[in-house]
Structure 1
Amino acid sequence: MKTVLFVGAGRHQRRAILQAREQGIRVVAVDRNADAIGLQAADVGEAVDFTDIDAVTEVAERHGVDGALTVSADRAVPIVAAVTERLGLPTIGTAVAHRMRNKIVMRRAFAEEGVPQPPFAAVRSLVEGRRALETVGFPCVLKPADSGGQRGIFRIESEDDLDRHLHASLVESAEQECILEGFVEGTEMNGIVIARGGKAEVVTLSDRLRPPGIGFGVGWIHVYPASTYGYQLELCEKVATRAVEVLGLRDGIAFPQIIAHPDGSVAVVEVAARIPGGQMADLVRHATGVDLVDVALRFALGEPVPDDVARPQFQQPLAIRFLTAEPGPLPTGRVTRIGSLEPVLSAEGVVQADIYLQVGETIRPVRLDGDRRGYVIAVADTNVAALDRAEAAARLLTVEVAR
């Protein structure tokens, strides 16, 4: 029996852990949170800070794992790479993990190879930030160089905005470094790319819709297929695969985010080396038949990933509506009652839905990815109809709050 190590064992990892066990794989999981729900789902769960490479390596050696991976946890990507590299297991390598984790290193690699992207500058201090504004211009986006989940991300419209938000952004960076990049208007898309033997191929491109206001970076609606079409869609696919290849990923799953500008141009926002969160694995499975968890497990164990596993088997239009506060379907305030999910699950076109709420919790305005408190996935003959179905189903959930 093969043994695989999951680095991180939260909600997103739990489902992948259970799937691995269903496939006959023994699972060892580590997470610094002893109550992480994935630890209980694994064959062996250990409360270990997964940022401690030595500690995670010791666990891997003690259990004789055949491979390691993470799902959704961006911070765990370099840890998995370091541990697998040390133990001589299938790996993307620490150099590739660093390029696909650190946004400044990533953008410099793109600049060297001519991959289209917004103007950018590295920032470690207010002086550097003000100087960078002269290059990047307004509006722009401030974000930590090495963080995810929309933590520490701000839209910058003036020097005062930079003064106000730089410290909060730097705090979210382990390396105490931020990046300023030009804000690109247009349709933002999530891409899923699978690289095999150094050749990258697009599996899906889907629209990533965002709310107005301070939570502008949070994807709260996903729609497949993408609304971009024709030559620009082809350009998006070429740029997505080129970006992955430039970063050096030879065998693995990549998550490029791309913006299609109204003038027909395309810009890469960033690329991650993992299965993304936000139900993207579910989107790919329902939309194309590709099982990203199965693909990731094969890569982790050094097993073949044939065409019938890595390439789409069909194309099913769908939409994901996340359950968020207003202007989403949820009210803000302390939760006093949660109605049944059954009316949502029974609604027309709904293929999957869940909610992450408990009585006593507080629903806040959308700011971070963690403010998404559930989701609805609906399918239809077109992506527009699928979104209508997802929106209608989301309104069937009753949540009462004390404001």
Structure 2
Amino acid sequence: MTRTSPPEAFVLTGAFRVVCRNPRYLEELAARNLRILLITGEDHRDAAETARKDPDHPAYLIDDIAYVDGSLDQEGSYTPGFVAQARRWRGRYTVRGAYAVGETLVEQTGLLCDALGLPGPGLRATRVCRSKYLQRWYLEEFSPVSLVLPPGGREEADLAALGYPVVVKPATRHSSSGVVAVGDEAALRELLTSYPAHETVLIEQKVTGQEYSVESLVQHGRPVFTSVTRKETTESGAQTFVELAHSVPNAHAEADAALLDANRRMLETLGFRDGIAHAEWRTGDDGRPYLMEVAARTPGDGLVALYHLATGQPLEPQIIRIALGEEASYPAPTRFARQVYLEHGTGPLADVTLDWPGVRPLWVGESGMWPELAPGAKDDPATLRALFVLKEAGARLGPLASSDDRAVTFLIDAPTPQGLDELEQRVRGAVTVTTDPEADGEH
């Protein structure tokens, strides 16, 4: 009797919506006849099970989903459920690769790759990239002065020894959640009372200067593609650091050499082997690049779409190639692309209008699904590709305290930086976001 081999499979991990918002991963794996396995949070169960029954939804391609419990403010809380499920699958499938699409399960995916001998960033990289205070421990050369407050260590901490202003960061959250700047010790002590007692908090001296990110495709420990993205945040008008714009590539390239050199040395220190790294940096007033944080997964927001618009080629196939141990490459940008998040008033979202020929607002709040945006040719005119409304009608809009508070975004690209800047201003003038403060006051 001939014994059949287990079917070959690939494991994706991360929030269900994040995975489905990047359907090309699913399409690439399905085209290779690999069984697609997903590990996601228990809170996504209802949405995922409903979507899997819809032949028109990307989730229809997923062969099996496992749901794990955990909390972002409790380190390692997802690991037991993740390992239990991975062990069950190891007996049923021949797993050929794994990749963390979102932030939540990066460390656990690193454990999976290590246990099965699969290509991945490596245990050090995946552990450190999920912990802001471990990044300061391993990457001190690139870091601002900082202080770690473990659970139970806040009262006796010498906060007077810090140089103010400082930035407070919960150690394991993402999307700028809980990241706040404060100007003195009294304000800091008051802020610390707002974090759960079990949560580790990182405090670091505030670095002023332009913010960037560096995206790196790394294979066999060597970057095969790197690019600098320029960022704008709410920092100038608030104490928060919510990202408001991404520009790919950086049009002010005079800072790129120092950033890329620091980024290369940072990845070497992490022992980063195979995957994509998304590192956020600031160039300080002293001209030195300071690492804000680094992630071992796909960049968030619309950066994947921006790279597609800027280079003409999608990133996802190359990420899958790296995860499967196949040689990867990616072209340099030939256009300039930008994503802009609009600031807005407070109150229930009443309407979003756009006065632009051929483009209308696309409300994606309920599904979280973005359509794929087709890139233009190198010398095509400056173009508005899409405007997305990220919330549902009637959703209450408040101050921008984290990335989840943003409501409206648009994506543009152009052959020159000047054309991109001009187009951004034209689009801003064509968009109206209407809130209803009076309706908000009735509740």
For the criterion TM > 0.5, the same-fold answer is yes
Alignment of 1:250-289 (within 5 A): 250-289=273-312
The answer to whether the 8 Å contact 1:132/1:180 transfers is no
The answer to whether the 8 Å contact 2:276/2:319 transfers is yes
Matched, 1:4 2:5: no
Quote the offset at 1:399 in angstroms.
4.0
Quote the offset at 1:110 in angstroms.
1.9
- Return closer, same or farther for 1:181/1:271 CA change in 2, 3 Å cut-off: same
Cross-structure match for 1:378: 412
Matched, 1:237 2:260: yes
Alignment of 1:364-375 (within 5 A): 364-375=398-409
Match of 1:145 among 171, 188, 194: 171
Cross-structure match for 2:321: 298
CA distances 1:119-160 after superposition (whole Å, capped 9, x unpaired): 11211232354x1551x4111111012221111211021112
Cross-structure match for 1:246: 269
CA distances 1:283-328 after superposition (whole Å, capped 9, x unpaired): 22222345322222122222221xxx2342x4311221114xxxx2
Higher Rg of the two aligned structures: 2
Match of 1:331 among 331, 345, 363: 345
Distance 2:416 2:160 in 1: 42
Letter in 2 for 1:35: D
Cross-structure match for 2:365: none
Alignment of 1:341-356 (within 5 A): 343=357, 345=359, 349-356=383-390
The answer to whether the 8 Å contact 2:99/2:109 transfers is yes
Letter in 2 for 1:142: V
Distance 2:226 2:270 in 1: 18
Cross-structure match for 2:366: none
Match of 2:430 among 389, 396, 402: 396
**Structure 1 gap segments, 5+ residues each:** none
Matched, 1:154 2:183: no
Distance 2:155 2:358 in 1: 51
Match of 2:121 among 73, 92, 98: 92
The answer to whether the 8 Å contact 1:344/1:393 transfers is no
The answer to whether the 8 Å contact 1:78/1:98 transfers is yes
**Secondary structure in 2 aligned to 1:104?**
helix
Residue-pair matches, total:
384
- Return closer, same or farther for 1:225/1:303 CA change in 2, 3 Å cut-off: closer
Distance 1:82 1:188 in 2: 31
Distance 2:159 2:326 in 1: 45
Structure 2 length normalisation: TM-score? 0.78
Distance 2:139 2:406 in 1: 31
Matched, 1:28 2:43: no
- Return closer, same or farther for 1:64/1:121 CA change in 2, 3 Å cut-off: same
Cross-structure match for 1:48: 67
Identity %: 22
The answer to whether the 8 Å contact 2:26/2:62 transfers is no
The answer to whether the 8 Å contact 2:219/2:322 transfers is no
Match of 1:315 among 306, 317, 334: 334
CA distances 1:48-91 after superposition (whole Å, capped 9, x unpaired): 016222243146434543222122x2221001112222333333
- Return closer, same or farther for 1:104/1:310 CA change in 2, 3 Å cut-off: same
Letter in 1 for 2:317: D
**Secondary structure in 2 aligned to 1:69?**
strand
The range that moved more, 269-278 or 40-49, is 40-49
Distance 1:138 1:227 in 2: 32
The answer to whether the 8 Å contact 1:17/1:27 transfers is no
- Return closer, same or farther for 1:351/1:86 CA change in 2, 3 Å cut-off: same
Distance 2:428 2:66 in 1: 36
CA RMSD of aligned residues (A): 2.8
Letter in 1 for 2:249: P
